[in-house]
Amino acid sequence: MNEGYILQVSQLNKAFWGVIAVFNVSFELKKGDFLGIIGPNGSGKSTLLNLITGFVRPDSGSILYCGREISAKKPHSIANLGIARTFQMAKAFYRMPAYKNIIIPLCSARARQFRGGVYGERDDIAMDLLEEVGFDRSSGVPYKLTSSLPHGYLKRLELARSLALRPDLVVLDELFSGMSMAEVAGTLPILEKLKERGTTLLMVEHRLKELFRVANRVIVLNYGRKVADGSPRDVMEVEAVKEAYLGSE
C-alpha cells in the first residue's frame, strides 16, 4: 500500500445479466479526504459503494483497505475492519426507540475494542452519538419509536449508527436525499466536524451544491465509467461531465 492511502480501488468491474454497472474504475483515497462520487442516475454510483462495502462482489478488480484485499469479504467483516456506511433508504429498526438503534452497533466486535461492555455505558454513548448528529436528548426525541421520526431524523440516525463503529472510513449513500434545505444545512456542520477530526469520507450525492461545500475531491461516473476526477470546480469544466449532465448538442 502506498503510504497515506486508506482505500485503493483498481480496475473494478461489475455487470448484472450482461449489463455493465461498473467498468474498469480505479481511484485512491487518502486518509482524511472527503471524496464525492457523482453522476447521472444509473451511472453506477451505488453499485460502486456496494462493491466497496461487500454487499456486491466484483467480477474482477481489486479493493485494498489499509493495504488489505477486501473484495471477497462480507459486509460485517468489512465493517469490523473500520468501514461503516449509510444507506439511501434508511435501514432502521423501526419498532425500537431511536437510541436503541445505536446500542446494536455498539455491541459489535469493533465497537467493543473502543468502548466498555456495560449496557449503562452503551446507553450514554448512544445518546452522545445522537446528540453529535443533531438529536436533543432533553427533547425526548431519542426515546421515541423510530417509526415516528421524520425523514431527516432517520437519515441522521443512519449516520449516528455508522459512527458507533468508530470507523476510519465512512461511506455515505445520498445522505441528503429527501432532506429539507434546513435539514441539510443542519447536517453540513456535522460532516465538517468529522472532516476536522480526520475521518475519511466517501459520499455519493445528487445535491451537488451542498456536496461541493464539504468535498475536497470529486469523481464523476457515467455508464459505469470514471469520466473525471479532481476538485469540484475542475470536474464540472470537463466536457464529458457536461455531456453526462446536459447531453451533447
**What are the per-10-residue average pLDDT scores of the chain (249 residues)?**
81 94 96 94 93 96 95 94 90 89 86 63 87 86 90 90 92 91 90 91 93 94 93 89 70
> What's the rounded Cα separation, in Å, for the pair 99 and 109?
19
Closest-CA residue to 142 (of 176, 172, 114, 103): 103
Distance CA 51, CA 71 (A): 7
All structural domains of the chain with their residue ranges: 1-80+201-249, 83-166
Note the pLDDT of residue 246.
63
Q: Top-level CATH class of 1-80+201-249?
A: alpha beta
Q: Give the model's pLDDT for residue 89.
A: 81
3-state secondary structure 69-107: ECCCCCHHHHHHHCEEECCCCCCCCCCCECCHHHHHHHC
Helix axes 151-163, 181-197, angle to 10 degrees: 10
- The whole-number pLDDT of residue 1 equals 45
pLDDT of res. 120? 57
**Total-model pTM:** 0.89
Per-residue model confidence (pLDDT) at position 3? 63
Q: Which residues of 192-219 are buried (b: 16+ CB within 10 A; e: fewer)?
A: eebbeeebbbbbbbebeebbbebbebbb
Which residue bears the cell 449509510?
Answer: 86
Amino acid, res. 58: P
What residue has cell string 466498555?
116
Entry field: residues in the chain: 249
Q: What pLDDT score does 249 carry?
A: 46
Q: In what order do the strands lie in the sheet with 225-230?
A: 83-85, 169-173, 200-204, 34-38, 217-222, 225-230
